[in-house]
Amino acid sequence: MASYEESLTQLYGILEPYTNDLDALEANTDLVEGLGLSSLKIMSLLLDIEDSFDVSIPLNKLPDIRTIGDMARQIQALQDNS
């Protein structure tokens, strides 16, 4: 299992192809507003994240994930519970 910081670093790598502004990749960056991701890109991103971390993010958890840091914490929780 990766630490929170390792998860963030891995998330930044996954997010790079989804944004033109690599400086925006910070833990408090909003996935929709900060990166300008459309709903289609969000779904594609979720698939990439699930594949990369070998987790399944429940759809009922998505409203709680607003920032990159939120995503890293959710991944940690899913890995801890598996």
Q: Is 67 helix (H, G, I), strand (E, B) or coil?
A: strand
Q: Which of 1-5, 15-19, 54-58 has the lowest mean pLDDT?
A: 1-5
Sequence spans of domains, the chain: 4-80
Band the pLDDT of 39: cuts 50, 70, 90: confident
In the prediction, which pLDDT does 1 show?
Answer: 64
Q: Which CATH number fits domain 4-80: 3.10.450.50, 1.10.1200.10, 3.40.50.1370, 3.40.50.2000?
A: 1.10.1200.10
Q: What mean pLDDT, rounded, does the chain reach?
A: 91
Compute the distance between CA of residue 41 and CA of residue 74 in angstroms, rounded to an integer: 19
What are the angstrom distances between the C-alpha of 17 and each of 9, 46, 49? 14, 13, 13
Mean pLDDT of 58-68: 92
HSE toward the beta carbon, residue 12, CA cutoff 13 A: 15
Q: Is 27 helix (H, G, I), strand (E, B) or coil?
A: coil
pTM: 0.89
Band the pLDDT of 37: cuts 50, 70, 90: confident
